[in-house]
């Protein structure tokens, strides 16, 4: 054995009862498990783990670390939480597959999520295909990463930013791009159906793309068309669409937000139960917090996004068009704001690209407007223009009873939706997994510790069809977390969002310490985790 972990409480990820054992690691895998009373193991190194629990590494089913993994070798935001695998390419917008023009556009469109705007040289964008991006990850990263082909980027590449149905030739090109991405190792397809240009796709187009995903045994991961007004109808749309395509479905950050959905989580869960009982293949992920996080430009109506970022800025600069945007936002309910009239007191600025605008951060749009003696739309419009659409926001529109009900569901998994950009990011980026273990399992008893670990490990591994991850079993990869069940907690708060968690002293990937005695090592054991062909 390379390492023997002695006298540890094994929470193996199955959801079954925990047990005490010695666990031996060799050549990056779990080589032996000896329960109490069985012959002891010996190895080159021994770790006394009395008082600690050992679980599989946590799988973040919804991550926005597409550039952070390349830019920040430390990546303690996730490594310190016990995350050993992240799923990237989320919400239909990421950096492969692209050509040069598409890459420039997508870099501008999601600079608020990831940085990397045109002119930013902290990352060398030396890839264009999905396979080339995964090869880049294979040079060594902090944690492992899987990738979803982003449908919005694919549409941007093949169709552009026009709000219209794709032609037959354009649809064929999109299907080809999705197939190539899956062949090169992507695990599925994502969409952001409140983000342009992905939201311009109709159900017929999405169904055809999902047929391609089904042919490769991948899954579809939509940020669907509404989490506010019409949320249940939006969930129904995704369930019906994937059933028609014969495609597995994973619902991204499956929340029920805004005032119209207070207390309505049971309706969503009943919808899912009916579909599951009828044979649908469905999973979902959530983060254990009530506010959401996105970019300020995302709340604009879809027609304002047609033509891409430069066209959006031109519309914002035009007084007459800007007034139309305001009318849709404040009086009608923008589709970008989930069909609900915007409430500026719920939208907190969490980050800006231009440091000269930093005084907005930590204030709601309403607070910032009052400080300037102007209407909220005037402040929001100016910020969008001056920050070139790069501002991020927290949207305080969630409901705790919905969060708790959904996390109990039988197909639930954990996802941080962690945006690492900004002066005041959402604490979920640094705290999701210890927050599940500490607050919701230990303190509130919403789930048992064994159940919670299963939600964060074996369930997502099964969705990703990973045959040797997600459980503490002999022969499985030694992607492992040692944590103290009595003290594990998220350190991050809304006031101090970049604070690291407590109670997670050791994290291993392929049997190598990524976190040791609570300190990040210099090990870069992470690699791409690619779709395994049948």
In this predicted model, what pLDDT tens digit does every residue of 185-230 receive, in sequence order?
999 999 999 999 999 999 999 999 999 999 999 999 999 999 999 9
Is the separation of the CB atoms in 200 and 164 below 8 Å? yes
Query: In this structure, are strands 19-26 and 3-10 parallel, antiparallel, or unpaired?
Result: antiparallel
pLDDT at residue number 36: 85
Give the Cα separation of 420 and 161 in Å (integer): 27
CB-based contacts of 210, cutoff 8 Å, min separation 6 = 189, 220, 241, 242, 245, 247
pLDDT at residue number 37: 84
What distance lies between CA 384 and its chain's CA centroid? 24
Q: Which phi and psi angles does 513 have, rounded to 5°?
A: -70, 120
Question: What H or E segment, with its residue span, contains residue 135?
Answer: helix 130-137
ω before 368 within 30° of 0 (cis)? no
Q: Is 256 helix (H, G, I), strand (E, B) or coil?
A: coil
What distance lies between CA 380 and its chain's CA centroid? 26
Give the Cα separation of 202 and 208 in Å (integer): 10
Is the separation of the CB atoms in 228 and 191 below 8 Å? no
Give the Cα separation of 230 and 257 in Å (integer): 11
* 148-184 confidence digits (pLDDT tens): 999 999 999 999 999 999 999 999 999 999 999 999 9
What distance lies between CA 87 and its chain's CA centroid? 7
* 369-400 confidence digits (pLDDT tens): 999 999 999 999 999 999 999 999 999 999 99
pLDDT at residue number 534: 58
* 22-47 confidence digits (pLDDT tens): 999 999 999 999 998 888 899 999 99
Angle formed by the axes of helices 151-158 and 100-109, nearest 10°: 130
- Chain length of the chain: 534
Question: What H or E segment, with its residue span, contains residue 317?
Answer: helix 309-317
Give the pLDDT band (50/70/90) at residue 237. Answer: very high
Give the pLDDT band (50/70/90) at residue 82. Answer: very high
Give the Cα separation of 146 and 137 in Å (integer): 10
**pLDDT > 90: percent of the chain:** 98
**With the CA atoms of 67, 68, 72 and 77 taken in that order, what torsion angle do they form, in degrees rounded to the nearest 10?**
-170
Give the Cα separation of 395 and 334 in Å (integer): 15
Is the separation of the CB atoms in 340 and 348 below 8 Å? no
Give the Cα separation of 56 and 76 in Å (integer): 18
This prediction has a pTM of 0.97
Give the Cα separation of 170 and 151 in Å (integer): 13
Is the separation of the CB atoms in 7 and 27 below 8 Å? no
Q: Evaluate if residue 532 carries a pLDDT over 80.
A: no
The overall average pLDDT reported for the chain is 97
pLDDT (mean) for 344-356: 95
């Amino acid at each position: 054995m390379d390492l023997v972990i002695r006298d540890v409480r094994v929470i193996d990820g199955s959801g079954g009862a925990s047990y005490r054992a010695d666990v031996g690691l060799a050549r990056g895998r779990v080589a032996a498990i000896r329960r109490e009373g069985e012959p002891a193991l010996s190895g080159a190194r021994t770790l006394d783990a009395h008082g600690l629990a050992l679980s599989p590494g946590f799988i973040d089913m919804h991550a926005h670390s597409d550039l952070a993994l390349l830019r920040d070798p430390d990546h303690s935001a996730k490594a310190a939480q016990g995350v050993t695998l992240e799923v990237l390419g989320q919400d239909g917008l990421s950096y492969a597959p692209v050509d040069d023009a598409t890459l420039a556009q997508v870099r501008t469109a999601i600079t608020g999520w990831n940085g990397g705007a045109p002119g930013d040289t902290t990352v060398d964008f030396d890839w264009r295909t999905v396979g080339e991006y995964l090869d880049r990850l294979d040079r060594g990263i902090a944690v492992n990463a899987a990738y979803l082909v982003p449908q919005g980027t694919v549409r941007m590449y093949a169709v552009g930013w026009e709000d219209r149905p794709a032609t037959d030739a354009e649809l064929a090109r999109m299907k080809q791009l999705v197939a190539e991405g899956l062949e090169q190792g992507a695990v599925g397809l994502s969409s952001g159906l409140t983000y342009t240009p992905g939201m311009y796709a109709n159900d017929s187009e999405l169904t055809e793309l999902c047929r391609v995903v089904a042919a490769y045994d991948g899954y579809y991961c939509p940020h669907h068309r509404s989490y506010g007004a019409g949320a249940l109808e939006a969930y129904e749309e995704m369930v019906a669409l994937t059933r028609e395509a014969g495609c597995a479905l994973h619902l991204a950050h499956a929340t029920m937000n805004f005032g119209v959905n207070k207390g309505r989580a049971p309706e969503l869960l009943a919808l899912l139960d009916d579909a599951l009982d009828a044979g649908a293949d469905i999973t979902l992920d959530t983060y254990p917090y009530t506010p959401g996080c996105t970019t300020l430009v995302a709340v604009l109506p879809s027609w304002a996004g047609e033509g891409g970022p430069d066209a959006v800025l031109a519309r914002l600069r035009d007084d007459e068009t800007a007034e139309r945007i305001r009318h849709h936002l404040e009086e009608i309910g923008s589709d970008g704001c989930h069909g609900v009239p915007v409430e500026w007191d719920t939208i907190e600025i969490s980050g800006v690209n231009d440091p000269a605008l930093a005084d907005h951060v930590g204030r709601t749009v309403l607070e910032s407007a009052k400080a300037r003696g102007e209407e909220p739309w005037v402040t929001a419009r100016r910020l969008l223009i001056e920050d070139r659409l790069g501002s991020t926001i927290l949207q305080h529109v969630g409901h705790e009873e919905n969060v708790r009900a959904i996390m109990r569901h039988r197909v639930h998994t954990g996802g941080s939706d962690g945006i690492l950009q900004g002066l005041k990011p959402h604490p979920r980026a640094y705290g999701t997994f210890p927050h599940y273990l500490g607050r919701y399992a230990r303190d509130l008893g919403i789930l048992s510790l064994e159940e919670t670990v299963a939600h964060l490990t074996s369930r997502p591994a099964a969705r990703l069809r990973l045959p040797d991850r997600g459980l503490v079993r002999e022969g499985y990869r030694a992607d492992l977390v040692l944590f103290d069940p009595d003290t594990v907690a998220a350190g991050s708060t809304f006031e101090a969002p970049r604070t690291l968690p407590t109670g997670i002293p050791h994290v291993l990937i392929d049997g190598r310490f990524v976190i040791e005695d609570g300190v990040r090592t210099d090990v870069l054991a992470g690699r791409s985790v690619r779709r395994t062909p049948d």
